[in-house]
Every structure is written in C-alpha cells, then in structure tokens.
Amino acid sequence: MAKKDPPSGVGVVQPAPPAISRQAVETVRKRLISGDLGSFPIIIGLLVIWGILQAVNQNFLTARNLNNLLVQITEIGLLGIGVVMVLLLGEIDLSIGSVSGVCAAVMGVLSYYYHWNAWAAIIAGILAGVVIGLFQGAWIAYIKVPSFIVTLAGLLGFSGLLLHLLGTQGTVNITDPTIDALASTFLPVTLGWILAIVGVAAYGAILFSRRLARQRAHLPVPPLARDIVLFAVIALVTLVVTALLNSYLGVPLATVILLAFVIFFAYITKNTRFGRHVFAVGGNAEAARRAGINVQGIRVAVFTLSAMMAAIGGIMGASRAISVSPSSGGGNLLLDAIATAVIGGTSLFGGRGTIWSALLGALVIGSIENGMDLLSAGSDVKYIVEGVVLLLAITIDAVSRRASASAGQ
C-alpha cells in the first residue's frame, strides 16, 4: 500500500531560517575580534553607572534630577564637540577652557558695560572664538609648532586676557534676560513631544536611507534585525526621557541646542567631503597630502571650529551661572571636555571617533559628578572615580587599536 504524504504543515518540522541570526552573531564576533566596538562599551558603562547611582540614591533618575543633569552637561558637551574634531586629526587643544572663558567675558562685558543688544553680544563672543581658532590653527599648520605647545601657550595667555577683560570688578553679572534664558528656558510640553517624535522619525529615515545607499553601492548591509532593535531602543529612550522631562518643567532649551550641534557636526563629519578629509588627515597626514588634500587648510579649519565651539560652550556656561568670573573656563572644565571625547570613544591617536561620543562622554562625566553631588561625596572621591573611568576608556581604545592592527584593518 502506497504511503501517503502527510498534510502540508502537519507532522513536519520546518527549521527556521537561521541566516539573520547567524549573520548578526558573525558580525558581532568579527567586530569584537577586530576591536571595532563602536559606542557599545560606553553605552553599557553608562547604564551601569546609572544603575549604581539609582540604587544608592533613589533621586538620581527622577524627572527633576534628570532635567538638572541635562542642563549641567551642555557646556562640556559643546566643548567636547570641538575636542572630538581636534582629536580626529590626532592633535590636541589645551586652550578650550580659557577660550570659553574669554569669549564669555567678551559677551558679558559688551552686554553689561556697553549695553549691546543680546544677540550682537553673543555673536561678538562667538566671533572672538573664531579669530582665536584661526590664529592658533594657522600657527600650528603653517609655522608647524606642535599643537600641544601652541594651545598650552593659549591656555596661559587667554587666562590672563580673561582677567584683563573683567578688570578690577572681577565678576560681570549677566543681566540681559535673553542671554539668561539660554540656560533657563524649557520648551512647552507639546513642542517637546513634537521635537521628540520628529527626531525619532528622522533617525528611522536615516537608518533606512543608509541601508538603501549601501545596497545601491553593493556594500555589506547590516542585518535588518539589528537596525530594527537599534531604532526601537533609541525611540524608547527618547520618548521615555521626553515624558520624564515634560513631567517636571519640560525639555530644556540648552539640551536642544546641544543636540542640534551634535547632529550638525555628525552630519558634517560623516556626509561631507570636509568630514572625509578630516578623517583622512587624522589617519595618515602624509597619505592625505599625496592624495591632494589641503592638510594645512583642514588643520586651520578644525582648530577654528574647536575654538568656536569653546566660545558657544562658554556662553552657555555664563548663561547658566548668570555671570562671568575669573573662574569661568577654569577648574576642571578643560580636563572634563577632553575626558568627554575620550570616554565617549574618540581615539587619542586620530582618525577614529564620532561626534556622538561627545554627547555620550558628557552624559558619563555629568552623571558621575551629579551622582557624587547627590551623595554629598567630596571632590576627592569625584576625581578618583572620573580618573578611573577615563583610564578604562583609554585602555579600551588602546586595546581595540591593537586588535584592529592584528586583524589587518
């Protein structure tokens, strides 16, 4: 008697196609072996830090403290963007703290003593940063003095210029309501939600367009599951944070300003010829020169952008403090800004990193400082913890570079 085939789908185990999962696992394995970890370690580290701080102090992840945290990190985040640009070249800028103080003083003096319009004073402060950056960048690029020396001289010289601008009064109060509002304004609830939803939609469109672009160029395309999970995580975090902020005062304008600059410079570095040239010079300056890239011009432009971002950060810092004083741009601001870039994943050796690392690093530094303040910990504990985190970040960078070299990348 002839054997009958079982009905379709009955008694037959159909194995699930493993292609996507295998491809995803293989991609992760290759990235781990090659040292191409991206932002994964810092994101995990940030979650661990938040978990620990929330466990020891239940106020850490409240809407009020999260709001304060985001405003606090604006200044070092803006300076961190400039630091990332400089580090991508394999250079260093030690003057950013002093430059931020000087430019804030220019704005404050023009506003308070000379009664300039708020926006005119702000623009003057930013232009002061541009001029300083042009000067330092030209000295580095054309006179060929190492950036460490030029910017160290700038750190000292601009600190003196700050004292000179402030004069015998020592402190200039920021009384213009427009300038004060930069760090103290919160968006209406509806506008906050609109920006969050538009941001999530834009991020999804960018992910989709990148997939299409790689397909058209016949390049390897990341697993679809990975992009879906990534989009879902970003969307969830964005919407949850927006809900928390709106439950208190709303989304801070300072946070919107920081995110706008991060997105703008991320686009510049990843999607423009200038950005590709920055990475090329940072990877191998001599090869970039032979390829026809204006290496000196790139260096001048990057140091100009770094000083401009220092000026903007200084202005936001002055708005938050409602004053400019001899301590503006001083203290540990310089070290925090550099640590922000390095902790966020930008390589000290040039040619590797993203602007988003400035935001991630600022969140780490800001979270540690904010958490230590909530715990009433002393400066000694705060500095020790930040030092350990910075050392770990640099160690991960060095190890991943050796792994990349071993993998032939």
Query: With the CA atoms of 385, 386, 391 and 396 taken in that order, what torsion angle do they form, in degrees rounded to the nearest 10?
Result: 100
Q: What is the CA radius of gyration of the chain?
A: 24
* Strand, coil or helix: 228: helix
Which residues lie below 8 Å from residue 29, measured CB to CB, with a gap of 6+?
A: none
Q: Are 351 and 283 in contact (CB under 8 A)?
A: yes
Mean pLDDT of all residues in 174-187: 94
- What pLDDT is stored for residue 291 in this prediction? 92
Query: To which H or E segment does residue 173 belong?
Result: strand 172-173
The residue behind tokens 């708005």 is 319
* pLDDT tens string 91-116: 999 999 999 999 999 999 999 999 99
- What pLDDT is stored for residue 47 in this prediction? 82
Per the DSSP assignment, residues forming a β-bridge with 324 are: 172
- Pick from 280, 269, 266, 345: which is nearest to 35 by CA? 345
Q: Are 304 and 130 in contact (CB under 8 A)?
A: yes
Select the more confidently predicted residue: 332 or 74: 74
- pLDDT band, residue 43 (cuts 50/70/90): confident
* pLDDT tens string 346-404: 887 777 888 988 898 899 889 988 988 888 888 788 788 878 877 877 777 677 666 66
The 8 Å CB, 24+ separation contacts for 279-285 are 279/88, 279/351, 279/352, 281/89, 281/90, 282/87, 282/88, 282/89, 282/90, 282/350, 282/351, 282/352, 283/350, 283/351, 283/352, 284/351, 285/90
Determine what percent of the chain is predicted with pLDDT higher than 70: 87
DSSP one-letter code for 17: P
- Pick from 29, 370, 303, 322: which is nearest to 140 by CA? 303
For residue 366, give both structure tokens. 């800001």
- What pLDDT is stored for residue 34 in this prediction? 44
Cα 222 versus chain centre, distance: 24
- What pLDDT is stored for residue 403 in this prediction? 64
Cα 22 versus chain centre, distance: 33
pLDDT surpasses 70 at 4? no
Select the more confidently predicted residue: 28 or 229: 229
- 32-41, 140-149, 293-302: least confident range: 32-41
- What pLDDT is stored for residue 354 in this prediction? 87
φ/ψ of residue 361, rounded to 5? -65, -40
- What pLDDT is stored for residue 379 in this prediction? 78
* pLDDT tens string 307-346: 999 999 999 999 999 999 999 988 889 988 998 888 888 8
